[in-house]
Amino acid sequence: MRRAIGRARSGVDRTGRAADRIGAGRTEPDKGPRRRSARIGPATVALAAVGSALLAEPAAGHAGSLSGSLEPTPVPSWLVVLTGGGIVGASFLFTSLLTDHALVRAINGRGVRVPVREAVRGTIRTTAYRGARLAGVAVLLLVVASGLFGPAAPTASFAVLVVWAGWWAGYAMSVYLLGNTWPTLNPWRTLAEWLAATGLLARTGRASPGRLGVWPSVAGLLLLIWIEVVSPVAEEPRLLAALVLVYTALTLASAARYGTAAWFRRVDPIARVFRYYGRLAPLQRTERGIELALPGSALAERRAAGRADETAFVVALLWVTTYDGLVLTPAWAAFARAVVGLGVPALVVYLLAMVAGFGLFYSVYAIAARLARRTADSYVAAGFIRDWFAPALVPIAAGYHLAHFAGYFLGLAPALGGVLATPFSAPATVTVLAMPGWFGGLQLGFVVLGHLLAVWVAHARSFEVFTGRLQPVRSQYPFILVMIAYTAASLWIVAQPSTSPPFL
């Protein structure tokens, strides 16, 4: 297996080559970027773009990203890292000036109900709902069929473009920027419900998935991202289709075994990712209908504290973004070569790093919660503090997602539009847009914006659980320090020249 992967990757500079092509503006479908800059956790490329736009180091390595055409401005990387941390720290200082709990809550409580007329509710809504569900299933079928029988070049492949650019980049953005539509569109859920209704896969009603809590979800997310990093699933349509088929089979079988609602509510990692992202969105579904509120206010107002495993999932969401970027750094390459030299299989190294990094992130966050109990001088249980503030991590994850994928999505949007019309044959030309120079700055802005929202959400939540006006602010010290450290680490990763991850 390793050999196969190695062959697929051989001699392809991880980011450089794709970026050159993308930068070139137009590519022939048959010669399209083997390494669609994205597989890389499509993400990391754009992450590199954040840096390359702002870093002085003559962008030797990371020029090779979606932003290959950017001109680096003369600011050294340490200063960018420092500035990122400084902005996060300053945002905390500013929010700590606002200690009027009623005002904090009033700000988060602002919102209007989106009026939906009864008539619309009745007919049009049902039709739209059914249509959306059908469309979801149709896209899934097309992805599989096109992946198996369509063009093999990534930038000409309906499957690759729809899954990575359309869905994982573009659609995910719509979830946290607008609202969570995944429960309706989720094709696996629709299929599972159909199968259950027709009795083809009757629920066997055995063990509930509840025993293990959300941990299977956490493991599923880590596993999916690991597969995405170590296999060429983002550039080989056949492999992608196979993965989708396997995922479909597993999901449908599990939904049949545990019940559709229980499976998608508790275990399915993709549904959970979108559910958490959706809580950041301005459009929220409530008991009283659809409400339009400030972004993040649903996170700030969320009353439940969650549990340790739910916190772990949010942390995992954050970690996988970082991991995606980390494996591209020279430091990682040196480390991986050293460890593999000791005789450890490369895939195991990648897997261990995935698990160990997640453990590290979770531990650091849990320690911060324990310290918060001390800085706040409070008896509130450390575990409760940890789970109470977990929703504040969602905007950070979304901010990085947006920074990573906005340019990637926009750049590939014309190609995506092209293949939508012809799922089974390569379009005559594939257009890939290069992002303008200021786009890198915009991406850094998204990262910072995510952190600002996180600071605000944590600030609002601290007033719900702690007493008075000073204790809530003091409870935030450890979290802010961790957040500054995380910002700095992320920007450091960005500042590294991108290399090809060894042994893949």
Partner 1 sequence: MTPSNSRPSPSPESDRTRTGRRAAAGRNGPGGADAPPTTVPAGETPAARCPHCARPFRTERLCALHLGERHRAALTDGERAAHDDARDAEGDELFVFHLKVVGAITALYAGMVLAYMIVLGVQG
Among 228, 236, 268, 301, binds partner 1 (CB under 8 A): 301
Residue 111 near partner 1 by CB under 8 A: yes
Residues 302-321 that bind partner 1 (CB under 8 A): 303-305
Instruction: State in angstroms the smallest separation of the CB of 201 from partner 1.
Output: 35
Q: Are 430 and 25 in contact (CB under 8 A)?
A: no
Q: Are 279 and 302 in contact (CB under 8 A)?
A: yes
Q: Which CB, 20 or 309, lies closer to partner 1?
A: 309
Q: Are 159 and 143 in contact (CB under 8 A)?
A: yes
Q: Which CB, 148 or 465, lies closer to partner 1?
A: 465
Among the listed ranges 68-76, 191-199, 237-245, 358-366, the one in contact with partner 1 (CB under 8 A) is 68-76
Residue 384 near partner 1 by CB under 8 A: yes
Among 15, 321, 378, 498, binds partner 1 (CB under 8 A): 378
Q: Residue 5, SS3?
A: helix
Separation between Cα atoms, residue 140 and residue 493, nearest integer Å: 34
Among 60, 82, 114, 334, binds partner 1 (CB under 8 A): 82
Token pair of 299, please? 């996170």
Residue 180's alpha-carbon distances to 283, 290, 351, 391, in angstroms, are 8, 11, 31, 16
Q: Residue 290, SS3?
A: strand
Among 2, 26, 337, 469, binds partner 1 (CB under 8 A): 469
DSSP symbol at 259: -
What is the enclosing helix (H) or strand (E) of 318? helix 308-326
Among 382, 433, 481, 489, binds partner 1 (CB under 8 A): 382
284: phi then psi, degrees, rounded to nearest 5: -125, 140
Separation between Cα atoms, residue 39 and residue 62, nearest integer Å: 16
Strands 283-286 and 430-431 turn out to be unpaired
Token pair of 481, please? 């320090």
Among 465, 481, 485, 489, binds partner 1 (CB under 8 A): 465
Separation between Cα atoms, residue 351 and residue 209, nearest integer Å: 25
Separation between Cα atoms, residue 23 and residue 27, nearest integer Å: 10
Among 158, 332, 388, 503, binds partner 1 (CB under 8 A): 388
Q: Which CB, 103 or 348, lies closer to partner 1?
A: 103
Instruction: State in angstroms the smallest separation of the CB of 461 from partner 1.
Output: 8
Q: Which CB, 101 or 257, lies closer to partner 1?
A: 101
Q: How many C-beta atoms surround the C-beta of residue 285 within 10 A?
A: 16
Among 24, 93, 128, 207, binds partner 1 (CB under 8 A): 93
Instruction: State in angstroms the smallest separation of the CB of 149 from partner 1.
Output: 48
Among 12, 57, 77, 89, binds partner 1 (CB under 8 A): 89
Separation between Cα atoms, residue 153 and residue 136, nearest integer Å: 24
Token pair of 474, please? 């003091």
Instruction: State in angstroms the smallest separation of the CB of 171 from partner 1.
Output: 26
String of contacts with partner 1 for each residue 259-288, x by CB under 8 A? ---------------------------x--
Q: Residue 425, SS3?
A: coil
Residue the block writes with tokens 């990692």 = 269
Instruction: State in angstroms the smallest separation of the CB of 110 from partner 1.
Output: 9
Among 291, 346, 398, 400, binds partner 1 (CB under 8 A): 291
Among the listed ranges 99-107, 124-132, 256-264, 492-500, the one in contact with partner 1 (CB under 8 A) is 99-107
Chain residues binding partner 1 by CB under 8 A are 56, 74-76, 79, 82-83, 86, 89-90, 93-94, 96-97, 99-103, 105-106, 109, 111, 286, 291, 293, 298, 301, 303-305, 377-384, 388, 461, 463-465, 467-471, 473
